[in-house]
Amino acid sequence: MARTKKPLLTKSLIYIILSIYAVTIFYPIFLMLITSLKENKEIFTNPYGLPHVFTLDGYIKLLKISNYGIYFRNSIIVTVTSIFFILVISSLASFAIAKYRFFGKRFIYFYFIAGLIVPIKLGTIGILQTMIKLHLFDNITSLIIIYIAMGIPFGVFILTDFIRLIPEELSNSARIDGCSEPRIFYKIIVPLLQPALAAVAIVNFIPIWNDFWFPLILIRSDSMKTVPLATALLYGQYETNFGLIFAVLSMASLPVIIFYLILSRQFIKGLTAGAFKGE
Question: What is the rounded average pLDDT of the residues 205-219?
Answer: 91
Q: What is the pLDDT of residue 161?
A: 86
Mean pLDDT is lowest, of 137-141, 197-201, 244-248, for 244-248
Which region holds residue 70: left if phi is over 0, alpha if psi is between -120 and 50, else beta?
alpha
Q: Is the Cβ–Cβ distance between 159 and 194 less than 8 Å?
A: no
Q: Read off φ and ψ for residue 157, nearest 5 degrees.
A: -60, -45
Instruction: Pick from 54-58, 103-107, 171-175 the range whose average pLDDT is largest.
Output: 103-107
**Confidence check: pLDDT of 255 > 60:** yes
Compute the distance between CA of residue 246 and CA of residue 35 in angstroms, rounded to an integer.
7
What is the 8-class DSSP label of residue 62? I
Q: What is the pLDDT of residue 274?
A: 46
Q: What is the pLDDT of residue 275?
A: 41
User: CATH top-level class for 66-276?
Assistant: mainly alpha
Mean pLDDT is lowest, of 18-32, 110-124, 172-186, 219-233, for 172-186
Render pLDDT for 257-277 as a digit per residue (tens, 0 to 9). 888 787 777 666 655 554 444
Q: How many CB atoms lie within 10 A of CB 1?
A: 4
Q: What is the pLDDT of residue 252?
A: 83
Question: What is the rounded average pLDDT of the residues 26-39?
Answer: 85
Q: What is the pLDDT of residue 152?
A: 93
Question: What is the rounded average pLDDT of the residues 121-137?
Answer: 91
Q: Shortest CA distance to 51 belongs to which of 31, 24, 28?
A: 31
**Confidence check: pLDDT of 3 > 60:** no
| pTM for this predicted structure | 0.82
How far, in Å, are 11, 12, 43, 103, 279 from residue 50 at the CA level? 34, 31, 10, 64, 51
Q: What is the pLDDT of residue 12?
A: 81
Compute the distance between CA of residue 249 and CA of residue 243 in angstroms, rounded to an integer.
10
